[in-house]
Every structure is written in C-alpha cells, then in structure tokens.
Structure 1
Amino acid sequence: MRISSALPGLVLSLAFSSSIAHAELCRTATSAEAASYSTPMQSPGIVSPIDGTCWIPSMTVTSFDGTKLAANIFLPKRTSSDQKFPAILMIASWAAPGRVEYIGQQQRLAKDGYVVMSYTARGFWLSEGQVDVAAPADVRDVSSALDWMQANAPIDINNVATSGISYGAGLSLIALSQDPRIKTAAALSGWANLVDQLYPAGTPNKTWASILSLLGTSTGRPAPEVNQNIQALLSPDTPAAKIAEISAWAKARSPASYVAAINKRGAPVFISKNYQDDMFTPNSSLAMFAALTVPKKMLLNPGIHGSAELSGALLGLDNYPYDQAHRWFNHWLKGENNGIEKEPKLTMQVKFSDRRESFSNWPAPELSKQTYYLAPRGGLRFDWGCFCGKGDKGTISTAPNTATSYDLIQNLFDTTATSGLIPILSTLGETVNLPVINSLLTVSLAAGVRYEAPALAATQKIRGIPKLNLRVTPTQARAQVVAYLYDVDAIGISTLITHGASTLHWATPGQTIDFPIEMSAIAYDVPAGHHIGVVMDTADSLYASPVHPGERFGVRFEFNPNQQATLVLPTL
C-alpha cells in the first residue's frame, strides 16, 4: 500500500512501518503557526496546538487490484509511540468526494480519540476505476482501505467500524458481512434491497434514478451496465426477462442479501433513515432491520435523502443521527457504558414536530393495526335520503363495506394529488415544516378517486407503514396507481402524510387481481376533529409511466362485501 500527499513543504514516505507517529506525517507547529492556528483545515499536516489532532487531506490508498483511491485521515492526539486507537473507516456517498464529505464528523471523532479515514468510492472523482454499484470490487476496496489502516495507522484492529451515507452506507453493511475485522457498522440514508428502491412494486423511480445517472456520469466513470440498467427500468418496453436479470444484478448489491452473514457474525448494526427519502425509502430498511438478530438500533427522521445527516457529516454540528452514531461507536469500540445497547431499538421523530418516540423492536409490539374499509363513490347521483349529491367521493369506515360496485379512473392527466409540486424541493420543504397541501375537492373525478373518513374523536397516531389492500381490474396490460394518505381538516384543507405506488406491466386486461399498495413509513399525528383521506390516481412526477405518451389505460377499483378493500394503519 502507498500514500502520497500534495501538502506544501510536507514530504511523506511511501512506505511505513507498523504505525504512523504524528512526527512521520505531521509536524509540530512553529511558534508563529501555533499563535495563528484555528482549524486543521487551515493548517493541514500540522499537529494542532489546541487538541493534538492532525489532518492529512490528500492521500492515495492503493487497493487490492492496483486501483488508487483518493482518501484523507484524521489522527487523534497521541501521548506515546505505542498508543492504539479505535478506528472508523468512512466510505463516500455516490458522486461525493470522500476527502470532503465527512470532514466535520471526522474532526469530532478524532477529538474523541478515534483514527478516522475517509475515501472516495471507486470510479468517482480522483479515485480510479469504474463505478459498478457496490460490486465485489467495491466491497474489496473497503477491506483494502482497512488493510492500509491496519498496516500504517495507530489503530486497534479489534475495534474498527465502517460508516457512510447513502452509497457508503450500503458498502459499510455489505463489508460488515464479509470482513471479520469490522466490529460494527453505522449506515445512514442507505438502502437494503436495491430493486425495492429503483423499482418499488414495479414502479420506476424516474426522478431519483435520473439524478443518480446524471451525477454518476458527471462525477465518475460508470460501468456501461449501470446506465443501461437504469434506462431499462425506466422504459415501458423492457421485457420481463430483462427486469429479472436486473433484479439478480441488484440482489448481489443489496445489504439485505447479507443479513444471514451479519447475523452469523453477531456484528452490531446502526441504521438511520429519513421519511421523505424517495430515493431509498425506509420500508426495505425496516424489513432488513426486522430480520437482523444482532445488537441493533434504528432511527427514523424527517428529511430527504441524506439531509438529516449532512450538517453533522460536513460541518461537524450537533446532529441527532450522528450524535447517536457517535454513542454507538463509543459503546462498541471503546466499551463505554453509555446504555445505548439497552435502549429501545427503534426511535421515530413525529413528522412536523421535535418529538421522538421509542419502540422496543421492529415490528413494534407497542403498535396495533387499525383497519378501515373503503366503500365506492359510485356514479354521480342525487340521494333523496340525505337530500344531497353523491358520487364525488367514496367513504372510509370502521364498518365493512356492503356495496357491490366499482370506481373507474383513467390516465387522462395527473390530478392535484401529488408527492410534491416540485420533486425533491417539496419534500425537502416538509423537513422545515412546510407541508405538501391540497384540497381533495379539486381531485378530478375522471383521473382520480378520493375516499374520506368521518372526523376523529381523538388524535390518531400513525407509526409505521400504511397499507392499502385493493382489488383492481386494469383495462390493459400496463397500469399504475399512486395512492396518497392525507390529514384533512374541517374545511377540507389536506396535508400529505405519506404516499405509495404500484405498477402493472404484464397484467391480463379485464382480469381482476389483488393489488396491495405499501406507503412509505411515517410517524404522524392526525388531530382530533380532522379525518383521514385517501386519493388514488395514475401518475406522479416522481415515477415513470408504464405506458408511452398518449397511450391510455384505466383502472377499476372493485368493491364487494365478500372481498373488502381496506386501509390498514399502524397506530400507537
């Protein structure tokens, strides 16, 4: 293994003995430098006269196959030449420069006595090679970086963790399953099942897949199959055999595929996920978390992809996900008796509040399931019984539906129901208490259908994954339904709680089928006096359509007393 540095005036040896003393990589500050010293970032390669840490920003680590990876390292204060420290290896996010992304958190951890190295993933920026999406070579890079740390840095190899955001999170978990030297991993805004993220319930994630492709191409060198697979998932003409091939490709790149190996090792796992992360929704990570039998902890936070962690990673600010990850490291790598391993395994921050609630495990025994029954709106009509018009909306009730009927929607155009008028920015607004608002009265009767429940007598606390269990009849082989769950106030103003989608590609036209829709996990309080609303339509700006522009399809929602359409809410 070799390193190099571009630091002015700092000459580094390319081969090192079993440990790095600060004197070998970093020099003591001169009197003038000590007097003006402020941060390691302004004085790289100099031992801090304030806290004894040192930052080496421009390293190159050579991986197992000769590929050179851009890296940096933060060293803690060292009081003796044989002193060893717990270590954390941080892997950069997709398209992010690892020399920069975690610099604030690296400094905080170094001050607390950790050696912290970060590197840019293979194929991005200054790291050589091709981007191949958590392929075996990417996982071996993690072990190669750890090889370098073990041979050259003053680390305690028995107390090493991997960590990262997004791409780095997935690689951290896969590496944990394969390298026995890694004691624990902290994965933030990562994924569990890659197919569930790029193609959830057959629904192409157009917005985020396009962003991944654009960023990968502009900051790295993707292997040809990467963008080819993304384009295939977005195309309505891709055959089932190709989707199966991509699914197999993605399975090998999914941390959920390695749960058995992690469980066999007994390696502790820390996971943090964000509600509005439409790139990697929380649901498959919750499923993976449930399957883990090791010591574990999971946080659910407001935020889009990576947003909840960013200030802690880059700036080193107080930050709930990273503060909890730091406690996790302190317990498992330092043996600190801080109680984190005894705390409830899952915490959720309630949407639009600062309140967190804890649950002993997942699935959470503290939760129950509230089942509601959907009843059809039927055709537009005047009901003399209530002297009112009907057919504009269906109902949601705790009593089973008694009608046999159907509601038909067609993909004539999108409705006012949406995950956000501006993809990403709208959901980012939710994290600063700017909800996505709608009036359900504006939902088109031809392109969408809405169902509403009576006003609640008490606050309804939704905690987890809402699910719709429907029966539908598509008019052609390809169709899509997007479902939105709303909190509706007394005058009809509706706040989006969460949403989900499901898409058909090879259905039999005219054949009725079961059609479940799983919405993204959430913690939300619907106030007393408000009521639940559900809207279903055929399009959302996040997702690619299963048909070509101008091609029409319809979806009939079937209602029958013998086969109930239900909404199941996990409630506290």
Structure 2
Amino acid sequence: MSRRRSTLLVHLLSAVTVTALATTVLAGPAEAAPAAAPLAAPATASLAAPATVRAGAPVATTGFRFVDVPGAGVTLKANVIAPAAAGRYPAVILPSSWGLNDLEYLAQAKALAGRGYVVVSYTPRGWWASGGEIDTAGPRDMADLSRVVDWTIAQTAADPARIGAAGISYGAGLSLLGSAFDRRIRAVAVMSGWTDLVHSLYGDSTRHRQSSGLLQLSADLLGNAGPELTERLGDFAAGRDLDEIVAWANVRSPATYLDAINANRPAVLIANAWNDSFFPPNQLVDFYARLTTPKRLELRPGDHAIAEFTGVLGLENDVWTGVYRWFDQHLAGIDTGIGGEPPVLVKPHNAAREGYADWSALTSATRRYGLGQIRRLDRTGLLGGEPQAGWSKSLPTDLDTTANGGQVLISNGIAAFTGRRPQIWLPTVDRGRAGVWASERPSTAQRIRGIPTLHLELGDTAARGTVMAYLYDLDALGNAQLITHAPVSWLGTEGGDRAVDVRLPATAYDLPAGHSLTLAVDTVDPLYYDENAPGGTVTVKGGSYLDVPLK
C-alpha cells in the first residue's frame, strides 16, 4: 500500500466522519504469530463503585486521544474517549470495519462516552497503521481483541464486569466472535455482521462475485493482505480448492462457536438489512433461533451497512438508538424497557415497523404457487395453484436478461432512503432467455413475511450449473419491483434430471391489492459467479413451485 494512496484515503474518510491525522497511515511493526486466543477468566467484581449513569443525561467527557494498544505480537492503533469524572464505568470496544480505521466511530464514541461509557475504538491487525497481516477474524484477531480488553481494564476507568463490544460489518463479526472466546464481553451489538462466513461468500453453492471483489480491492488498497488471504481470495475467484476455503471460513464463523457463546451468555443484539449483499439475513435468522442468551433481532430495508450509516456521521439513527438502549440495559444497569419489548423488530419495505415474540411469529400461513406452462400468447406462465406436470422451459446458460439483483451496495442502498426498490419493466425481460411466471392479481394486499422457498425440477442438466431466481411485485403497467432474489448452483459429477431448492433471503413486503406476484428465472447475474458451461441450456420442468410465507 503506497503512502500517497493511504493518505488520500484518510482524507476521504475525514470528509465523511472526522478530521483524520496523517499519523494513522504510518507503517506498523512486523507480525509475530500468536496462538489461538484463550478463553479468558470470568470478570471479577468492580474495582470501585460504578458511576451513576442516566440515559439521556449527558456527562462531561475527556478529550479524544490516540493510543497504541499491544495486541498479540503486534501494535494496534486505537483511540479512547471516556467520562471525565472519577469512578468505574461500563466500557464499549469498537473494532473498525473492513477497510476503515479507528476513526470510523468517532461520532458514536463521543455519544457513548457522553452517556457514561469508556469507549475504545481500534483498527484490527493488517489494516492501515496497525501491525501484522489481515487475519479476517481468525485466531490472531481473537487474541488481539482479548488484549484490547486487557488494556481497557488496566489503562482506563472501565469496570471489568461491564464490558461490551460493537461494530459494523467486520467490527460486528469480530465483536460477536470475541464473545465466544472472552467471557468478559457481556453485551454485543452486531450491525451488518455475519454469523456464517461460508454462507456469506458461497451461499447456495454460488460464489458471490461483486461482494468478494470489493473485499479484495479494499484489502489490496488499504491493508496488508498477506499470503493467506491473498491465496484464499485468488482460489475463490478461480473456483478452486473450495473445500479449503469452506474450512477457512468456518473457523471465522460465529455459528461455529454458538455453544461457547450460549455458555458465556452475553446479551446479543443483531441488526441487519433485508437485502444485505455481503451478509444476507437468513444466516442471522438461523443463528438467532439457536441463540439462548438475552437476544434481539432487528431487520430493516437497505443493503450492507446502510441502515446504520447516518449514525456514523453523527446524525440521529434508529439502529444506533437501539444500540444505546441495549448497552444501557445490559451494561449500565438502566431499565430502558427494551427487555420487555418484542425481541424481533422488523421494518417491512413498505409498511410500518412490527414487533414479534420470535421469528416464527412473522408467518401465520404458507401459500404454495405452482409454476404453470408458459403460454404462447404472452410467453408467461401462471404462478399459482397446484404444481403442473407435462411442460418445460429451456434457458440458455450464458445469456443475461434485465432481471437482476442490482449492484452491490448501490441499488438496495438507495432503496433504504427512497423507499423505492430496484425496478425493471417486465416486458424487457427476454422470454427466450428467461422463464417468467405471474400470479393472478389479488383483491386484497398480501403481507409477505419470512423466507420464501423455491423448488425447481430441472431436466437434462449438465453436471454443474446455476440458475438465478427473482421475486417481483408487478403492477398493471408492467413495472416490477424486486422483492427478493437468490442464485442456486449444483456441483455434481453427472448430468441429468435433478431438483434444486433455494431459500430466498428473508423479507417483509406488502404486495398491494391488484398487483401480481411474479417470478423470473434465468442463468446469469453480474453479482455472482455461475457454474454454467457456455452454449448450454438449463430446462425448468413441471412440478416446480414457490412457497411464500404470509402474515
């Protein structure tokens, strides 16, 4: 990483969050590889009586200061801000996001300190001026996080019995993983984070092209990727040694350590977006269901790190307000009322927010829509009724259509602010390249809540292949707004007939009365790598159906 490029990016970050200092781009020391992070001993009693903290009652804070924190064989760049009065305070540790540094959270660090928290933000190893190579939330990162906890207790007014961790994206994953390896972490706020890195990179056996490409670009520009990450990303892009990549990703998945998290019992808040193109929400829903600690799940419109973005700028933000309340409840000892609220909060794409006792309560019925024969007149099949047999629709394997999942971060990110989902005009979808099925137009609104599932019967397929499925809200003028979408691939050794099932990402969407629920299936999407051989075909057959969860 060149000094000139690093300095330019520091100033770019300054324009968004804080006035960055040129010293944050100085090279860090060489790495000394430590062993995997040990499980820390339980926290002891506070060293002094906890300071009185009242939500909404600001306290005076110390000045913001940069510090060097000894990690596991490397030096980590960090900053600290804390209440000014003497006493012991709850503490929050904020690891920075992938590609950013410890200045990322300055606005929120000030806000938390003003509420009575010691706040330590740090840049994980391998990024910017922190030492070592990027470990991608591996054992070295876990050891580093425990060292940051050690330093925070020893060098600040932090109460060792009231330590929390939070972050966005990479910082979220580090925080949640850290709660499995260090039981001193008593509360966690996971914003746009992951629980299953295999699913994030390789969901439904389909490699995610654009999101992994951005991860690699960030590492090349802003960090010290090192040979391990470089090799893994290269293998991923080339589609080779995928078993090794899966094993590597499992080590970095909080779901792998769910038993340890449940045993340590941190209070876990998970906040994510319906259309997160890096970490789709199904993995979070599955993790949440198996989590036995105090827990809360919040899902909102948007893409990766979009819902919480205005909070990073220091503006009022619903996600960060929830984080304050979570930490006040579980670290500061203040009854904010959040513990008595429904623990599952969802904001549908086009309706008011809703609360539920658990995830399963979102869905009260499931409706099966059979895929019918394609009609000659409009080259569209009926979506509805029992699955029909005796028909087929062939799709070319290397020709795209206007049906797509949009651009990573952009399409659904804009939707979070405008309320308008990615949209196409359905007549532009080439019916020679895609299959399209549309339902009858209901007289009442259909409240879709949960995870739609698609079952496709495929005929005479190649041993390896991919199809893309898009679920749309179609109005009377042909405008189709994307509700949710997913790819699915198969990696067999023999061709022939097969069935594939795909869980589309969870969603909450009200299909208006008079609109048609519409399914489009093709074989190419720039968001993903596909497994199709050029010049081939994939044939969708009768017996296929879509199950839609309804409220």
* Cα separation, 2, equivalents of 1:51 and 1:288: 37
Residue 243 of structure 1 aligns with which residue?
242
* Cα separation, 2, equivalents of 1:252 and 1:7: 35
Residue 222 of structure 1 aligns with which residue?
225
Residue 569 of structure 1 aligns with which residue?
548
Native 8 Å contact 2:59 2:116 kept in 1 = no
Native 8 Å contact 1:107 1:316 kept in 2 = no
Letter in 1 for 2:382: T
Native 8 Å contact 1:478 1:553 kept in 2 = no
Q: Work out whether 1:419 is the aligned partner of 2:419.
A: no
Other structure's SS at 1:183 match:
strand
Native 8 Å contact 1:359 1:366 kept in 2 = no
- The superposition leaves residues 306-352 of structure 1 with CA deviations (integer Å, 9 ceiling, x where unpaired) of 1111221x222211111001100000011211221121111111114
Other structure's SS at 2:424 match:
strand
Native 8 Å contact 2:277 2:408 kept in 1 = no
Q: Work out whether 1:408 is the aligned partner of 2:411.
A: no
What RMSD in Å do the two structures reach over aligned CA positions?
A: 2.1
Residue 464 of structure 1 aligns with which residue?
450
Residue 86 of structure 1 aligns with which residue?
90
For 1:190-201, what aligned pairs fall within 5 Å after superposition? 190-201=193-204
Please point out which of 366, 370, 374 is paired with 1:369: 366
* Cα separation, 2, equivalents of 1:436 and 1:297: 29
* Cα separation, 2, equivalents of 1:307 and 1:7: 27
Residue 69 of structure 1 aligns with which residue?
76
- The superposition leaves residues 335-392 of structure 1 with CA deviations (integer Å, 9 ceiling, x where unpaired) of 2112211211111111145x211111123365322222111216x4xxxxxxxx36x1
Residue 40 of structure 2 aligns with which residue?
none
- The superposition leaves residues 205-234 of structure 1 with CA deviations (integer Å, 9 ceiling, x where unpaired) of 110100000101111011322132223223
* Cα separation, 1, equivalents of 2:254 and 2:361: 22
Please point out which of 529, 532, 535 is paired with 1:544: 529
Please point out which of 60, 70, 75 is paired with 2:68: 60
Residue 182 of structure 2 aligns with which residue?
179
Letter in 2 for 1:488: L
* Cα separation, 1, equivalents of 2:423 and 2:167: 34
Cα distance change on mapping 1:444 and 1:7 into 2, 3 Å: closer
Residue 95 of structure 1 aligns with which residue?
99
Residue 508 of structure 2 aligns with which residue?
523
- The superposition leaves residues 160-192 of structure 1 with CA deviations (integer Å, 9 ceiling, x where unpaired) of 101111111111111101111111111100011
* Cα separation, 1, equivalents of 2:389 and 2:181: 55
Give the superposition deviation at 1:445.
2.1
Cα distance change on mapping 1:252 and 1:322 into 2, 3 Å: same
* Cα separation, 2, equivalents of 1:84 and 1:456: 60
* Cα separation, 2, equivalents of 1:177 and 1:425: 33
Residue 150 of structure 1 aligns with which residue?
153
Other structure's SS at 2:427 match:
helix
Q: Work out whether 1:485 is the aligned partner of 2:497.
A: no
Give the superposition deviation at 1:474.
4.9
Native 8 Å contact 2:211 2:408 kept in 1 = no
For 1:271-420, what aligned pairs fall within 5 Å after superposition? 271-312=270-311, 314-353=312-351, 355-364=352-361, 367-377=364-374, 380=376, 389=377, 392-397=379-384, 399-420=385-406
* Cα separation, 2, equivalents of 1:156 and 1:474: 64
Residue 386 of structure 1 aligns with which residue?
none
* Cα separation, 2, equivalents of 1:205 and 1:363: 28
Other structure's SS at 2:359 match:
coil
Residue 46 of structure 1 aligns with which residue?
none
Other structure's SS at 1:334 match:
coil
Cα distance change on mapping 1:231 and 1:474 into 2, 3 Å: farther
* Cα separation, 2, equivalents of 1:543 and 1:7: 37
Other structure's SS at 2:361 match:
coil
Residue 503 of structure 1 aligns with which residue?
489
Native 8 Å contact 2:47 2:159 kept in 1 = no
- The superposition leaves residues 534-563 of structure 1 with CA deviations (integer Å, 9 ceiling, x where unpaired) of 000001111113246xx222111121xxxx
* Cα separation, 2, equivalents of 1:232 and 1:474: 29
Other structure's SS at 2:399 match:
coil
- The superposition leaves residues 245-272 of structure 1 with CA deviations (integer Å, 9 ceiling, x where unpaired) of 2111110100111111111222211001
Residue 206 of structure 1 aligns with which residue?
209
Native 8 Å contact 1:375 1:396 kept in 2 = yes
Letter in 2 for 1:406: S
Cα distance change on mapping 1:51 and 1:162 into 2, 3 Å: closer
Native 8 Å contact 1:455 1:530 kept in 2 = yes
Native 8 Å contact 1:90 1:168 kept in 2 = yes
- The superposition leaves residues 39-95 of structure 1 with CA deviations (integer Å, 9 ceiling, x where unpaired) of xxxxxxxxxxx9521233321101132x000000111131x3xx1000001111111
Native 8 Å contact 1:19 1:154 kept in 2 = no
Other structure's SS at 1:116 match:
strand
Q: Relative to structure 2, which stretch is displaced further, 399-408 or 248-257?
A: 399-408
* Cα separation, 2, equivalents of 1:220 and 1:454: 52
* Cα separation, 1, equivalents of 2:442 and 2:153: 59
- The superposition leaves residues 413-441 of structure 1 with CA deviations (integer Å, 9 ceiling, x where unpaired) of 10111112x44322222112233222222
* Cα separation, 2, equivalents of 1:366 and 1:487: 19
TM-score scaled by length of structure 1: 0.84
Give the superposition deviation at 1:571.
1.4
Residue 444 of structure 1 aligns with which residue?
430
Quote the sequence identity (%): 33
Structure 1: 5+ residue stretches without partners: 1-5, 9-17, 21-49, 381-388
Letter in 2 for 1:567: L
* Cα separation, 1, equivalents of 2:396 and 2:22: 63
Cα distance change on mapping 1:63 and 1:402 into 2, 3 Å: closer
Cα distance change on mapping 1:491 and 1:315 into 2, 3 Å: closer
Native 8 Å contact 2:486 2:505 kept in 1 = yes
Native 8 Å contact 2:363 2:450 kept in 1 = no
Cα distance change on mapping 1:438 and 1:253 into 2, 3 Å: same
- The superposition leaves residues 446-477 of structure 1 with CA deviations (integer Å, 9 ceiling, x where unpaired) of 21100010001211111122110111135322
Residue 231 of structure 1 aligns with which residue?
234
TM-score scaled by length of structure 2: 0.87
Larger Rg: 1
Aligned pair count?
499
Q: Work out whether 1:165 is the aligned partner of 2:168.
A: yes
* Cα separation, 1, equivalents of 2:125 and 2:434: 45
Cα distance change on mapping 1:364 and 1:545 into 2, 3 Å: same
Deviating above 4 A after TM superposition, structure 1's stretches of 4 or more consecutive aligned residues are: none
Other structure's SS at 1:544 match:
coil
Cα distance change on mapping 1:306 and 1:423 into 2, 3 Å: closer
Please point out which of 182, 189, 192 is paired with 1:189: 192
Structure 2: 5+ residue stretches without partners: 1-20, 24-45, 49-57
Q: Relative to structure 2, which stretch is displaced further, 518-527 or 363-372?
A: 363-372
* Cα separation, 2, equivalents of 1:507 and 1:539: 22
Letter in 1 for 2:316: D
Letter in 2 for 1:403: A
Other structure's SS at 1:512 match:
strand
Letter in 2 for 1:125: W
Other structure's SS at 1:504 match:
strand
